[in-house]
Structure 1
Amino acid sequence: MNATTSTSPEVLRARMVDHVVHAGHARSGPVEEAMRTVPRHEFVPGAPLEDAYGNQAVITKSAADGAALSCASLPLVVGMMLDQLGVTPGDHVLEFGAGTGYNAALLAYLTGPDGQVTTIDIDPEVTAQARQALDATGYGHVRVITRDGVLGAAERAPYDRLIATVGVWDIPPAWWEQMTSGGRLVLPLRWRGQTRSVALVREGDRLVSDSVELCGFVPMVGQEGERTGHIAPDGQVTLYWDADQAVSVDVLDGVLEQPKEAVWAGVTVGGGESFDGIWLRLTGIEPGTCRLAAEAAAIDSDLCFPVIASRSPALVEGGSLAYLSRRRDENSSPGRWELGAIGHGPAGAELADRLGEQILMWNSDRNAEPVITVYPAGTPDDQLLGGMAINKQHVRLVVSY
């Protein structure tokens, strides 16, 4: 049972959904109704009621090092992704990442008595807990499968809607094969060190996005497409890049100790303003886009000053690097920062200039959303529409504005 509280689950659930709606999610009437109906606290029985209905993810299983292995996602993200998925009554839905079973229950509510929901997870402990919670809350008709999600569930295919509630680096062929023509796939897709919840519609032999939202998720087990390495002593600065990128931390070793070139864009942001769109733009333009993370010691010693210590976009080219930075804006109201880029190495100044250009492009239309087109691996370049390819094992991505 949950810890005692003076407020009932029904009142707390209403407040949770009010917050989600106020934030601009659960815009669909059926999604809002589902979130107001399904008792989230029954899927996280070890959590206090305030946590079960709070604006937070609830960790239900952790690794020995404390890393989250399974959780109930942030309610805002749940509402956002269900909006993107667009489930209708009678749909056949496949979910990757059973988690607590809460999302599967919402999907079952949305599909109604004529639909079907299948949820998959590789961890038998997770699926057992999800099965128990679904049975206890009246959603025993949801099928729960213990299996590697990359295989899908061909026995119940094809599916009108597919959704991943774990971070995905690549899109397995089985997911394409088990999707109807015109079907929708929503997934937290990771590339170039950042993650977006992308809603993709199948159009023949390609998938085309119609919604792209910022998010973060526990990564899917078994997809090892991201590489990491240190470029400063004692691991003070780390780079994260993809397997298809020509990045060498050996070549970059000590680059931050070389003279720096700073480019300031004259573009400012306040504390509550998102600027992740710069990173997203870079992924479609710059083949060397990756993620830089710096420990406090690196910042305190003035070795580097990324815009966000744990996750900032960077450009790498051979033995040179530039990263997004910020400084106090002395010419505007307090609490605002000017964005810019700092480069190091032989091509550091050029990379900083190129990053600065993308800051300006983002600032010209901060709400612009790209179209992400996904092609099967092996698709020839002359059949890719709209830009530079980002290559993964099973797919090629093109990010275009």
Structure 2
Amino acid sequence: MNTTTGTSPEALRASMVDNIRNVGHARLNAVEQAMRDVPRHRFVPAATVTEAYANIAVITKRASDGSALSCASVPTVVAMMLDQLDVQPGNRILEIGAGTGYNAALLSQLTGPSGHVTTVDIDPEVTVQARAALDETGYPEVEVVTRDGSLGAEEHAPYDRIIVTVGAFDLPPAWWNQLAPGGRLVVPLRWRGQTRSVAFVHDRDRLRSDSVQLCGFVPMIGQDNEQSGHIDPDGLVTLYWDADQNVNLDALQGALSKPKTAVWSGVTVGNTEPFDGVWLRMTGAEPSTCRIAVEPAAVDSGLCTPAIPSRSPALVEDDSLAYFTYRRLEHEGNERRSELGAIGQGPSGLQLAQRLCDQISAWDDARTNIPIITAYRTGTTVSELRESNVIEKRFSCLAVIS
């Protein structure tokens, strides 16, 4: 239960917010103040106070297989997304994914007494607990609705801000319809195997990003359009791809037994330098971008050695693939650097590895440039979509332009 020795919740909360600020989030003064005011530990009563204010997700409900169904998100991610949302006093806000109720309390603080917050969740157990926590902490004005989040809450629309706190694979019609013109939608959106918190602005017939941040979230129930399958006989290497991609698992079964071809880009990174931007760029430039994940035994045996075993970008075409990797370089002093590259296998493995390295080099030329993600409703015909590699989903399509 919520117990700790020697350190008060208030001191731990202050330290949590200070740490969030130190890593560059809670940049908006209003977000910082809200996080200093709202007692997070009271929304996660099964956790210790120390756990409540640590920079970790607090799991509040698990499935029978142990996977997380609901949680209080990592505080730095909460702050990051609230910065992206840019709530103004008086805003009407819709939250998809009630969780513990903590985020709804923060939203209520941000929008103030002249605004309104509605939070929706498909799980009645989650909404009952969120309702109780909000009432106990002084936020009875927050509306808690038990409903499929993809339907939104039309009864309180239109909304100036919509924030989605579960991983989404698509942008269902209700979110488009219920977001006011000029409104902001912040959503952890998944495509091509990676998830980004995208802040969209509703601009006439489209949603256009002005902030894109790396993140990870519990997936939204009933919206999964990602497919997966093993490409080795022992089930140690798994490929993940989207429904609009043509991946032939049968053709790939022998690829990892083919000779490896390593191609090195000449691009290097230090120990603390991020390189996730390579993957984001690939999603707009290479239609065959997907995710590869390998078990430790596959790495240990040398069967498959991607940069990050649990999640790395790959290019897959027919019976060949190439995946993102790196190698340690000799170093002087305290600085250790790694060179980024790709390993290709199969008849077209070399060409795919070269194409992946081309994307690494393009990223290196402008590391701080963040691609613009523009979303359109499915069926839209505009020149921007004709000129780019389109990611097609059931309700929306995305153009990722670097």
TM-score, with length taken from structure 1: 0.98
Is the Cα contact below 8 Å between 2:59 and 2:68 reproduced in 1?
yes
Distance (Å, rounded) in 1 between the aligned partners of 2:271 and 2:235: 28
Aligned to 1:344: 345
Aligned residue in 2 for 1:232: 232
Quote the sequence identity (%).
64
**What displacement does 1:386 show?**
5.6
Task: Say whether the 8 Å CA contact 2:331–2:337 is kept in structure 1.
Answer: no
2:378 aligned residue? 377
The answer for the alignment partner of 1:260 in structure 2 is 260
Please name the residue that 2:315 is paired with: 315
- The within-5 A match list for 1:61-76 is 61-76=61-76
Decide whether the 8 Å contact of 1:260 with 1:342 is kept in 2: yes
CA drift of 1:203 comes to 0.5
Judged with a 3 Å threshold, the aligned counterparts in structure 2 of structure 1 residues 167 and 201 are, in CA distance, closer, same or farther, namely same
Q: Which residue of 2 aligns with 1:30?
A: 30
Distance in 2 between residues matched to 1:173 and 1:182, nearest whole Å: 17
- 1:354 matched residue in structure 2: 355
Distance 1:88 1:234 in 2: 53
Q: Following TM superposition, where does structure 1 have runs of at least 4 consecutive aligned residues deviating by more than 3 angstroms?
A: 331-335
Q: Deviations over 1:64-114 (max 9, x none)?
A: 111111000000000000000010010000000000000000000001000
C-alpha distance in structure 2 between counterparts of 1:305 and 1:43, whole Å:
41
1:97 is matched with which residue?
97
Q: Deviations over 1:219-260 (max 9, x none)?
A: 000012000000012211000000000011111002011112
Greater Cα shift, 297-306 or 121-130:
297-306
Q: Counterpart in 2 of 1:223?
A: 223
User: What code does the residue aligned with 2:255 have?
Assistant: V
Q: Tell me the distance in 1 between the aligned counterparts of 2:64 and 2:126.
A: 16
Could you tell me whether the CA contact under 8 Å between 2:289 and 2:313 is conserved in 1?
A: yes
Deviation at 1:347, TM superposition (A): 1.0
Partner of 1:171: 171
User: Is the CA contact (8 Å cut-off) linking 1:385 and 1:398 kept in structure 2?
Assistant: no
Give the deviation of 1:335 after TM superposition: 3.2
Q: Cα distance, 1:270 vs. partner?
A: 2.4
SS in 2 for 1:218: coil
Higher alpha-carbon deviation: 90-99 or 360-369: 360-369
Find the residue that maps to 2:195 and give its secondary structure: strand
Aligned to 2:157: 157
- How big is each residue's C-alpha offset from its partner over 1:305-362, in whole Å with a ceiling of 9 and x where there is no partner? 1000000000011111000011121266663221110001111111000000111111
Deviations 1:13-52 (A, max 9, x none): 0000000011100000100000000000000011001100
Deviation at 1:365, TM superposition (A): 1.7
Count how many residue pairs are aligned between Structure 1 and Structure 2. 401
Structure 1 pair 54/345, CA: closer, same or farther in 2 (3 Å)?
same
| Partners of 1:94 and 1:253 in 2: CA distance | 45
**What are the ranges of 5 or more consecutive residues in structure 1 without an aligned counterpart?**
none
- SS of the equivalent of 2:353 reads helix
Q: Aligned to 2:234, what secondary structure does the other structure show?
A: helix
CA distance in 2, matches of 1:385, 1:347: 27
Give the alignment's Cα RMSD to 1 decimal.
1.1
Q: Which residue of 1 aligns with 2:401?
A: 400
Give, in whole Å, the separation in 1 of the partners of 2:387 and 2:3.
53
Aligned partners of 1:198 and 1:213 also within 8 Å: yes
Give the distance between the partners of 1:114 and 1:234, measured in 2 at CA. 59
**Whole-angstrom CA distance in 2 between matches of 1:386 and 1:24:** 35
TM-score, normalised to structure 2, is: 0.98
Whole-angstrom distance in 2 between the partners of 1:240 and 1:280? 16
Partner of 1:235, secondary structure, is: coil
Aligned residue in 2 for 1:247: 247
Note if contact 2:20-2:79 (Cα within 8 Å) is conserved in structure 1: yes
Which letter does structure 2 place at the counterpart of 1:330? E
CA-CA distance at 1:381 after TM superposition: 5.4
Aligned counterparts of 2:235 and 2:134: Cα–Cα separation in 1: 44
Write the distance in 2 (CA, Å) between the matches of 1:310 and 1:271: 18
In structure 1, what is the equivalent of residue 364 of structure 2? Answer: 363
Give the letter aligned to residue 185 of structure 2: L
Query: 1:294 aligns to what?
Result: 294
Task: Please list, as runs of the form range in 1=range in 2, the aligned pairs for 1:194-213 lying within 5 A after superposition.
Answer: 194-213=194-213
- For the Cα contact (< 8 Å) 2:99–2:130, is it kept in 1? yes
